[in-house]
Amino acid sequence: MRSAVHRMLAARLSALALVIAVAVAALTYLYLGRAFERGVSDLAQQEPALLLGRAAQIGAQRGVGGVGAVRIALDERLQMRLPRAQGRFVHLRLSALAPAPTVEMSESDYPFLREVKEALPDKPGAVAAAPQSASLYLGGRPHVRIVAPIAGRDGRAAGQVELVYAASDMIVQQARRTLINTTGIAVAIVAATTLLIYPVIRRLLTRLADLSEQLLDANLSTLSLLGAAIAKRDSDTDAHNYRVTLYSLHLGEAVGLADADMQALLKGAFLHDVGKIGIRDAVLLKPARLTAEEFDVMCTHVDHGLEMVQRSPWLADAAQVVGSHHEKVDGSGYPSGKRWEEIPIAARIFAIVDVFDALTSRRPYKEPLSFDEAVELLRQGRDTHFDGALLDRFLEIAPDLYQRYGGREDQEIKDELGELARRQFRAETLVS
């Protein structure tokens, strides 16, 4: 169990670390991306403030209207060869409220100029009350569109200026390096943390696996001892319990029984007659045929068994077999006269193998029947005593099972059942 637990731990921690690393990388990308956009936007908004500020000076000095002053200021700005280390305006649109035409100017050599123009509205919108900005990704490069109102000499809105700012290659490359480096550091921290906590969790899980193994062994030993005790009291041998449980498990696998039903079948098969501990010896060990009254007493072993297994949370699912293994699909069984699907599938499986082993085993009051004789008697109970579909599947595998287990009472079948049981419950422990 230890190696399986260690493999499971490594797989789950690796998966968890990967999920956390991806989440951290995504959050880092979003955070730095938005920080970069804010930085570009801040840079972009400095230019219209300078432009409009210079236009206000020109208007005061020369008595020129708002839009005219902006045009003069723009001409001055274009004649100046300022550094473009951080970025530049690649397109400008100047519009007035009067019938004056809209003026557009562009950086003709800018490689993404077509994408810039396509991203802008065909016509200027309503004059904004205050400067506005919006981020655009064009050609894989961040841009900022800024719209700012232009005030006339009377202080009222006279038009607006619309600019598109493009970050420089240097700024974009710096942002990418920062993003890659920061994301790499975050992922490395997650990986290092995972590697540091792995040995601690591994030691804890190893101790837990050892304790689980010991608890499983204790539970299975209790199951075996309890079943063997009543079997020996009833027939001086517990081999029947081991054989019918092996038959049951193989038939359960053959019909694709779910794990939970397989566990209920295993427990119930071994404890199916545990309630006989509550039957007095005069009835339980009577060599002659039971009277009607004695048979009624014998039937109460089902109720005794249910009472016993339901006291234990671990054995409670054994009630599926303990309480229904004497039911028949035509409703003639006991204690409740259940029919077909009312009978748990584990009990319908067990009813077949229990009768088969009883027919093919030697008892103090009878000799064993041959395989063919036992099969013929089973077929006679098809769809009356037994579920026909389950019976057909059992008859397909019965020759091999009989060859392997029929009449055996040696230690090897006990060891085989013990290993099957441990494998079944270990799988459940690992999955949970």
The closest of 67, 72, 106 to 89, measured between CA atoms, is 106
User: Can you tell me the mean pLDDT for 45-49?
Assistant: 63
pLDDT band for position 389 (50/70/90)?
A: very high
Which residues make beta-bridge pairs with 146? 133, 163
Q: Does residue 164 or residue 339 have the better pLDDT?
A: 339
Name 380's Cβ contacts closer than 8 Å, sequence gap at least 6.
none
Return the pLDDT at 393.
94
Q: By mean pLDDT, which of 233-242, 330-339, 368-377, 385-394 is the weakest?
A: 233-242
Chain position carrying tokens 């072993």: 301
What is the SS3 assignment for 126? coil
Return the pLDDT at 394.
93
pLDDT band for position 329 (50/70/90)?
A: very high
Identity of the amino acid at 26: A
Taking phi over 0 as left and psi of -120 to 50 as alpha, with beta for the rest, 234 belongs to: alpha
pLDDT band for position 82 (50/70/90)?
A: very low
Q: Which two tokens stand for residue 71?
A: 């045009």
DSSP string, 35-72: HHHHHHHHHHHHHHHHHHHHHHHHHHHH---HHHHHHH
CB 176 within 8 A of CB 393: no
Chain position carrying tokens 């055996």: 408
What's the whole-number average pLDDT of the chain? 77
Report field, pTM of the whole predicted structure over 0.95: no
pLDDT band for position 214 (50/70/90)?
A: low
CATH class entry, domain 236-431? mainly alpha
What is the SS3 assignment for 259? helix
Identity of the amino acid at 139: G
pLDDT band for position 343 (50/70/90)?
A: very high
User: Can you tell me the mean pLDDT for 269-287?
Assistant: 82
Return the pLDDT at 147.
81
What's the chain's Rg over C-alpha atoms?
43
Return the pLDDT at 430.
41
User: Can you tell me the mean pLDDT for 396-414?
Assistant: 84
Burial of 371 (0-12, 13-18, 19+ CB in 10 A): middle
The pLDDT tens digits of the residues spanning 89-104 come to 788 787 765 556 677 7
Q: Where are the domains of the chain?
A: 2-177, 236-431
User: Can you tell me the mean pLDDT for 296-313?
Assistant: 87
Percentage of the chain lying above the pLDDT 70 cut:
73
Residue 155: alpha-carbon gap to chain centroid: 64
CB 142 within 8 A of CB 40: yes
Identity of the amino acid at 265: L
The closest of 121, 432, 380, 104 to 259, measured between CA atoms, is 432
Q: By mean pLDDT, which of 145-154, 216-225, 324-333 is the weakest?
A: 216-225
Q: By mean pLDDT, which of 166-170, 306-310, 394-398 is the weakest?
A: 166-170
Residues 321, 264: Cα–Cα separation, whole Å: 8
Percentage of the chain lying above the pLDDT 90 cut:
14
Residue 280: alpha-carbon gap to chain centroid: 52
Return the pLDDT at 245.
87
Query: Given a cut of 50, is residue 223 above it in pLDDT?
Result: yes
User: Can you tell me the mean pLDDT for 3-8?
Assistant: 66
User: Can you tell me the mean pLDDT for 247-255?
Assistant: 91
User: Can you tell me the mean pLDDT for 167-183?
Assistant: 77
Q: By mean pLDDT, which of 113-122, 181-190, 220-229 is the weakest?
A: 220-229
**Is the bond preceding residue 149 a cis peptide, omega within 30 degrees?**
no
User: Can you tell me the mean pLDDT for 291-301?
Assistant: 87
CATH homologous superfamily for 2-177? PAS domain (3.30.450.20)
pLDDT band for position 29 (50/70/90)?
A: low
User: Can you tell me the mean pLDDT for 111-119?
Assistant: 85
pLDDT band for position 72 (50/70/90)?
A: confident
Q: By mean pLDDT, which of 37-41, 161-165, 336-340 is the weakest?
A: 37-41
